[in-house]
Amino acid sequence: MFTKGTYTFEPNFAPEKYVFVSNNDEGLKRFVFDLSGMGNLEIDGQGSQFIFNGFLCPFLIERSKKITVKNLSIDFKRTFHSEGTIIAAYKDSLDIAFSDAYPYNVQNNKLMFTGDQVIGKDNGGEPKRVNYPFWHLLEFDAVKREPVQTAFDYLNVQNMVVKDLGPGRVRIHFPRLKGSVGNTLIFNATDRMVPGFTVSDSEDISVRNVTIFHAGGVGILAQRSNNILIDSVKVIAAPGRMVSTAADATHFVNCGGKITLQHSTFESMMDDATNIHGVYVKIMQIISPNEVVVKLMHYQQFGFDFLAPNSKIEITEAESLITYGETTVVKAERLNKEYTRITMKNPLSSKVKVGDVIASSEQYPDVLMKNCSVQKNRARGILLGSRGKIRIDGNYFHTHCAAINLEGDGRYWFEQSGVRDLTITNNTFDNCNYGFMLGLGVIMVSSGIEEQKKAESRYNRNILIERNTFKIFNPCILSGYSVDNLTFRNNKIENTTAYEFLDWFKNMNLKNFMLTNSSNLKIEQ
The footprint of its own copies (CB under 8 A) covers 12-16, 18, 26, 28, 30, 107-110, 119-126, 128, 135-136, 153, 155-157, 159-161, 174, 293, 297-302, 335-339, 412-413
Residue 272 touching Ca ion (CB under 5 A):
yes
Beta strands in 132-238 (DSSP E): 134-140, 154-155, 161-164, 169-173, 184-189, 197-200, 203-212, 220-223, 226-231, 234-235
Q: Choosing among Ca ion, its own copies, none, which partner's interface includes residue 504 (Cβ < 5 to 8 Å by kind)?
A: none
- Closest by Cα among 164, 189, 188, 199 to 60: 199
Query: In the complex, which residue's CB is closest to Ca ion?
Result: 271
Rule CB under 5 A: say whether 271 interacts with Ca ion.
yes
Residues in 85-124 that interact with Ca ion by CB under 5 A: none
Bridge-partner residues for 184, per DSSP?
Answer: 85, 140
Question: CB under 5 to 8 A by kind: which of Ca ion, its own copies, none does 123 bind?
Answer: its own copies
The least distance separating its own copies from the CB of residue 313, rounded to whole angstroms, comes to: 21
User: Least distance from C-beta 518 to its own copies, angstroms?
Assistant: 26
Question: How many residues belong to the site for Ca ion (CB under 5 A)?
Answer: 4
The distance of closest approach from Cβ of residue 299 to its own copies in the complex, given in angstroms and rounded to an integer, is 4
Selected range binding Ca ion among 63-71, 245-253, 288-296, 499-507, rule: CB under 5 A = 245-253
Choose between 236 and 296: whose C-beta lies nearer to its own copies.
296
Using CB distances below 5 to 8 A depending on partner kind, what does residue 272 bind out of its own copies, Ca ion, none? Ca ion
Minimum CB separation from its own copies for residue 424, in Å?
Answer: 28
Work out whether 415 is an interface residue with Ca ion (CB under 5 A): no
Question: Residue 25 interacts with Ca ion (CB under 5 A)?
Answer: no
Q: Is 164 exposed, middle or buried (0-12, 13-18, 19+ CB in 10 A)?
A: middle
* Residue 109 binds which of Ca ion, its own copies, none (CB < 5-8 A, kind-dependent): its own copies
The stretch near Ca ion (CB under 5 A) out of 189-197, 271-279, 370-378, 404-412 is 271-279
Residue type (1 letter), 62: E
Q: In the complex, what is the shortest distance from the CB of residue 442 to its own copies, in angstroms, rounded to a whole number?
A: 24
CB atoms within 10 A of CB 41: 14
To Ca ion, the closest distance from the beta carbon of 122 in angstroms equals 14
Q: How far apart, in whole angstroms, are the C-alpha atoms of residue 265 and residue 371?
A: 9
| Interface stretch with Ca ion, choices 210-218, 272-280, 331-339, 489-497 (CB under 5 A) | 272-280
Q: CA 409 to CA 190: how far, in whole Å?
A: 23
Which residue, 230, 225, 226, 227, is CA-closest to 248? 230
**Partner interacting with residue 90 (select from Ca ion, its own copies, none; CB below 5-8 Å by kind):** none
C-beta closer to its own copies: residue 218 or 515: 218
Q: Which of 356, 257, 252 is nearest to 313 (CA)?
A: 356
Binding partner selected for residue 299 from Ca ion, its own copies, none, CB under the kind-specific 5 to 8 Å limit: its own copies
Distance CA 330, CA 309 (A): 5
52 strand-pairing partners: 9, 76
Least Cβ distance, residue 251 to Ca ion (angstroms):
7
**Closest to Ca ion by CB, 275 or 457:** 275
DSSP letters of 71-110? EEEEEESS-SSEEEEEEEEETTEEEEEE-TTS-EEEETTE
Task: Compare residues 99 and 109 and give the one whose CB is closer to its own copies.
Answer: 109
What is the distance between the alpha carbons of residues 378 and 153, in angstroms, rounded to a whole number?
A: 10
Q: Which is nearer to its own copies, 217 or 365 (CB)?
A: 217
User: Of the candidates 192, 188, 190, 225, which has an alpha carbon nearest to the alpha carbon of residue 206?
Assistant: 225
Are 303 and 337 spatial neighbours (Cβ–Cβ below 8 Å)? Answer: yes
- Measure the CA–CA gap between 511 and 393, rounded to whole angstroms: 25
Q: Give the footprint of Ca ion on this chain (CB under 5 A).
A: 248, 271-272, 275
